Structure 1
Amino acid sequence: MHSAVVYALLAAALFGASTPFAKLLVGELPPILLAGLLYLGSGTGLMLIRLVRDRGWKPSGLAPSEWPWLLGAILFGGVLGPVALLFGLTSTSGSAASLLLNLEAVLTAVIAWVVFKENADRRIVLGMLAIVAGGVVLSWPTGDGGMTGWIGPLAIAGACLCWAIDNNLTRKVSASDALFIAGSKGMIAGAVNTSLALSLGAAVPNATIVFATMGVGLLGYGISLVMFVLALRGLGTARTGAYFSTAPFIGAAMALVLLGESTYPAFWLAAGLMGCGVWLHLTEHHEHEHAHEPLEHSHRHVHDEHHQHEHDFDWDSSEPHEHRHSHGAMIHKHPHFPDIHHRHAH
């Protein structure tokens, strides 16, 4: 299996599992403070891991032109998205909210196709339509344990839109250090939301709640985001979002077990539609003759067919390794995803 697919599925599992735990914490903390502590846990933990990995502080490696993309991703994905989600969870069941989060994959793909001109084939489009249909079924107001109004679903849909924008902006910097990208997002977004919550009068919770929240944030928002960035590097935005759409199924299953929530007919119909959409995504195959334009960048790599270059330093033949390198023009044919080496027109 392509390693980027594994990263995407790991990201989905960690984030999906975090949603029911966040639902449990909603009753303990105001939504803005909860979002802040989740991201502070993510950022603090990841930055500590990065310091240990690099044996001290190491520059980010981001070019000046890449910082606006990262800051935009932090605003939408780290500040606005979590607050919208946690506000929506106050009036939406954990299992239903978990499935509704599939809309993030749809909105991610639409932005990738329309704004950033990423390629999409028929299977991806059909899968997205199935997920949209499931979201409509799931968000229809009911009185049997699902949605009881439009406010909760609308807030969660808003969170999905914020994260869709975030995903597309993050793709622009996905070749850079994933720990720095995810860690800086957590530190900045967490500090902003926590400061805002405290300024609005939120009380500081006890240490047990704080550490529990930050722990959920490190796993469900931090490590998950690192895996997501690595997947973006290898799959492109729309397809990473497609694999990531397995997250709500994991979250829904955990909500049913941990929270004792009851199911209802619309829930299972939505699950079936969304499951069909995910299956179409997972079985997609993309192959055609394509051209590579000359490119220069830096990322971890091995010397495969796309990395045939000389080194201007002493190299001990270890792989994978990371350094700035150039790609020459090339035309060939093989199965591929719109990764950092295959962002070509069709």
Structure 2
Amino acid sequence: MSGLHRAALPALGAAILFGASTPFAKQLLGEGQSPSLPFLLAGLLYLGSGLGLALIRLIRDRGWKPSGIARQEWPWLLGAITFGGVLGPLLLMVGLSHTTASTASLFLNLESVLTAVLAWLVFRESTDRRIVLGMALIVLGGAVLAWPSGEAVVSGIGPLALAGACLAWAIDNNLTRKVSASDALFIAGSKGMVAGCVNTGLGFALGASWPALPLLSSALLIGFFGYGLSLVLFVLALRELGTARTGAYFSTAPFVGAAIAIAVFGEYTSTAFWIATGLMSVGVWLHLTERHAHEHTHEELSHRHAHHHDEHHQHLHDVEWDGVEPHTHDHLHTKLKHKHAHFPDVHHRHSHS
């Protein structure tokens, strides 16, 4: 199981970066903001992501290189950009403007639930009772948070917008899994550039003006870490864990955001908040302690991604190889039947009888 634990590290890193960004993004909204500000900030957050990742990719590749994404994968990527890069952050900023940051942070746990439901019902990813029970507890915690109290929620539009953001990102997560074997920097960077331009343009169309330099630089910086680097790590985790399990690890993100909102910004917390925290904590623990092992068959598969020569990559090379790993090239997996602990990664997308 040590390999699986290492595979979970990118998902947890993504969770920490994104979770920390929520309360800081909330501070950018301030009080009495114009209706166009959430649109503008949503765009700036993703522009920070896109510009930063594009620069890193240029430095890494010593210039601009093709993405390497296959033609049939482009519709999946464009769909992910639309839902996760345009609709998701926009609904998040609307939700943040009508809730406290701590409550919004925990409420965003619903993303992992909706991600898993879509993965199971639509994309036929495997699951078990332990994961389902964990998701049920997270849903229950979200219901507690959404219950009208007058303390943590300013208006009903807040939870509704946050739920919409969670659904948009859930669709995005499942679509991104389809291209997760490709360059993570390109996937995350292209989403940032497109989504950033669309939402920033929408903000200006609604009457927004360029913000002051401190707010602009803060939004770009938060977006680079909380949306850009976080998404790169999330894509890497999708390769190894599958959609539902990556979402489960990522569901630790709201606790990071809630802790910062309370400890750093001194936000008030209600009894409902702590009840929801307990329910969601147990749900997340069930996810993090899951073990999935059974005899399974790998059908013949040809694809391209960065890999080491492990038990799933026992192939010869048609071209000269310098022995450096990981390395990337087109390779063929022959049919293989064996048993070991695994998650539904790019090599374990088999059905369960």
Deviation at 1:4, TM superposition (A): 2.0
Aligned length: 345
1:102 aligned to which of 109, 120, 123: 109
- 1:65 aligned onto 2:72: yes
- 1:292 aligned onto 2:298: yes
Which residue of the partner structure matches residue 58 of structure 2?
51
Q: Which aligned pairs between 1:1-346 and structure 2 lie closer than 5 A?
A: 1=2, 2-27=5-30, 30-144=37-151, 146-346=152-352
Identity in percent: 68
**Secondary structure of 1:32's aligned partner:** helix
Deviation at 1:143, TM superposition (A): 2.5
Deviation at 1:324, TM superposition (A): 1.1
**Secondary structure of 2:346's aligned partner:** coil
Deviation at 1:311, TM superposition (A): 0.5
Write the distance in 1 (CA, Å) between the matches of 2:158 and 2:207: 24
Give per-residue Cα distances to partners, 1:89-118, cap 9 Å, x unaligned: 111000000000000000000000000000
Deviation at 1:127, TM superposition (A): 0.2
Deviation at 1:148, TM superposition (A): 3.6
Deviation at 1:3, TM superposition (A): 2.4
Query: Which one-letter code corresponds to 1:229 in the other structure?
Result: V
Write the distance in 2 (CA, Å) between the matches of 1:128 and 1:330: 32
In the superposition, the TM-score normalised over structure 2's length comes to 0.96
In the superposition, the TM-score normalised over structure 1's length comes to 0.98
Q: Alignment RMSD, CA only?
A: 0.9
Deviation at 1:331, TM superposition (A): 0.5
Q: Which stretch shows the higher mean deviation, 321-330 or 24-33?
A: 24-33
Give per-residue Cα distances to partners, 1:28-56, cap 9 Å, x unaligned: 67000000000000000001000000111
Write the distance in 2 (CA, Å) between the matches of 1:16 and 1:261: 16
Give per-residue Cα distances to partners, 1:210-239, cap 9 Å, x unaligned: 111000000000000000000000000000
**Structure 1: gaps of 5 or more residues:** none
**Secondary structure of 1:61's aligned partner:** coil
Deviation at 1:339, TM superposition (A): 0.1
Write the distance in 2 (CA, Å) between the matches of 1:210 and 1:291: 52
Q: Which stretch shows the higher mean deviation, 244-253 or 314-323?
A: 314-323
Q: Which runs of 4+ in 1 moved over 6 A?
A: none
**Structure 2: gaps of 5 or more residues:** none
